[in-house]
Amino acid sequence: MVKTKRVQSVSFFHTRLTSIVSIALVLFLLGLVLLIGLLGNRLSVYVKENISFSIVLKDQVKEKEVNALRSQLDAFPFIKSTEYISKEQAAKELEEELGENPETFLGFNPLSASIEVRLRAEYANPDSLRQVEERIKAYASVSDLLYRKDMMELVHENMGRLTLILLGLAVILMGISFVLIGNTIRLLIYSKRFLIYTMKLVGATSGFIRRPFIGYNLVSGLVASVLAIGLLTGLLYYLQGEMRGLIQFLDLRALLVVYAIVIVLGVCLSVLATIVAVNKYLRMEFGKLYYV
């Protein structure tokens, strides 16, 4: 008798351990998708805010007018930063690139003074850029506006595609995770199906019957979430050595948000799957319990 109980206890432990590991692996995949999405968003912001465009100024513009223009530009909500580049500085930069000063063979400086502008990420898209271009060209001291329109559009389109792909992947993984977690929990509850029926016969309410199963699998969901977070942390620690510059885009606050989502998903999916599994046996007739 004691030996039988011991075997049942070991079997039950292995079943629960398998359940927790299965849930943890699913949550790890969900957390990984969240991290990839977060990293992609941070990279998009970084790229958009570091693609600058040049406001070419007219030759007769005075320093006082340039300072006034910069002050007005800095006050706009869509502009992150501005930098004034004089004709002399532009010529020096060109000399560093070409290895020769253009004034030596032209006899004059052909370059114009300009203001390098960086936009905030939320405004660095084709629609907003057209409006920004119209507003800046309206200034009398502005001669032209130069920027890589094709690069801006390419970044915007690629981020749109990446967002849709990650969203679709997250939805698919959510569906798969619910099915896997549901099947895992259903196997745990399967051995208790006659107990559920007996409790129902003696007058126990559905909520009373579900309560211990929900509490049990809530704990399993929490443990699986912690295990998944440990796997994600280990992966990030490994990638930090391999891709140091890339991982720096993820700050502690962002990681804590991802970890919190993993915990919430682990608890919610486990509880929801438990309710569905227990309800199945609550509605089942006694004769069918032998054939499931």
Q: Are 56 and 145 in contact (CB under 8 A)?
A: yes
In 3D space, the residue among 146, 90, 142, 82 whose CA is nearest the CA of residue 115 turns out to be 82
pLDDT for 5: 46
- What does the alpha-carbon distance between residue 76 and residue 89 come to, in Å, rounded to a whole number? 26
- What does the alpha-carbon distance between residue 144 and residue 146 come to, in Å, rounded to a whole number? 7
- Per DSSP, what are the bridge partners of residue 114? 56, 85
The H-assigned helical ranges of the chain are: 2-50, 63-75, 87-98, 102-106, 126-137, 149-190, 193-201, 206-242, 244-247, 252-282
What is the Cα 254 distance to its own chain's centre? 9
pLDDT for 73: 83
- pLDDT 10s per residue in the chain (292 long)? 444 445 445 555 666 677 788 788 888 888 888 888 888 777 777 777 777 778 888 877 787 888 888 888 888 888 888 888 877 777 777 667 766 666 666 666 667 778 888 888 777 777 777 788 788 878 777 878 777 777 777 777 777 787 788 778 778 877 777 777 677 677 767 777 777 777 777 777 877 878 887 888 888 889 989 999 999 988 888 877 766 666 666 777 888 888 999 999 888 888 888 888 777 777 766 555 555 5
